[in-house]
Amino acid sequence: MESQVRGGTRWKRFAVVMVPSVAATACIGVALAQGALAASFSVSGQSFKVKADYIHGEGFSQYGALDTGKTLDGKDSLHPVAVSAFSDATIQNMCQSVVTPNIPIFGSVTLTLKAGNSDDKQKQVSAHNLYIDVENLEAEKAVFNGIDIGVQAGSMTNPPMKGGKEQANPYGFGQQADSVDLYGVKQTAWATTAGTFTLPGLSMSLSTGSNPCY
């Protein structure tokens, strides 16, 4: 079965609907390779932007969650997110950027990371057990194969729901698909976790001013 979605979706609103409570205070447990849990962590006070020409994912699942952390001035913060998870993913022409404001002398400084700028799949970014905590997502086109909507979040196993009840309700709304293809992707995220993350043709640069990937 194939389903297509065009345009953008404000996942922040979508996540708020799915999250049962905003009373979460514990740190986030994250799932790594083979579904094992790594040490919990709190997200930083800065979101980041990711742009990609094309993303192909196998074993896709998605559900609402809460990320906890601190703002840049040290105050507690909660971020409703939609966790997009892939058992395996390839990413073509990936750009990731984060802008840090109020640096003495320089003002804003932008850290930019680029990789996988190739039509050859073997030279594209690849990841295993990839989790992206998304606040906002836009895509020119999305194609889902074998999609199930309304799945209990805790029952998804490919890959499994990350963290525990502190981050997401295992009985909450989720959706999954055998595979997904996303074209012209732009997203704002608070965290990315992967069992393995391979970045061919990696380049990283710092620049003064606000110069995000999009």
Q: What is the mean pLDDT of the segment spanning 131-153? A: 95
Closest CA to 121 of 88, 86, 144: 88
Adjacent-strand bridge partners of 137: 9, 187
Instruction: Specify the pLDDT at position 163.
Output: 62
CA dihedral 138, 169, 39, 56 (to 10 degrees): -30
Radius of gyration of the chain (CA): 17
The two tokens of residue 166 are 């502190």
Selection from 8, 1, 63, 2 nearest residue 184 by Cα: 8
Mean pLDDT over residues 108-122, rounded?
Answer: 95
Average pLDDT value for residue range 144-155: 94
- pLDDT of 135: 95
pLDDT of the residue at 34: 30
pLDDT at position 85: 95
Exposed/middle/buried for residue 204 (C-beta within 10 Å: 0-12, 13-18, 19+)? exposed
Q: How far apart are CA 191 and CA 62, in angstroms?
A: 15
pLDDT confidence bin for 36, thresholds 50/70/90: very low
Range 126-140 average pLDDT: 96
Q: What number of other Cβ atoms are within 10 A of residue 83's Cβ?
A: 26
Please give the pLDDT value at position 21. Answer: 26
Residue 74 DSSP SS3: coil
Please give the structure tokens belonging to residue 107: 């003002």
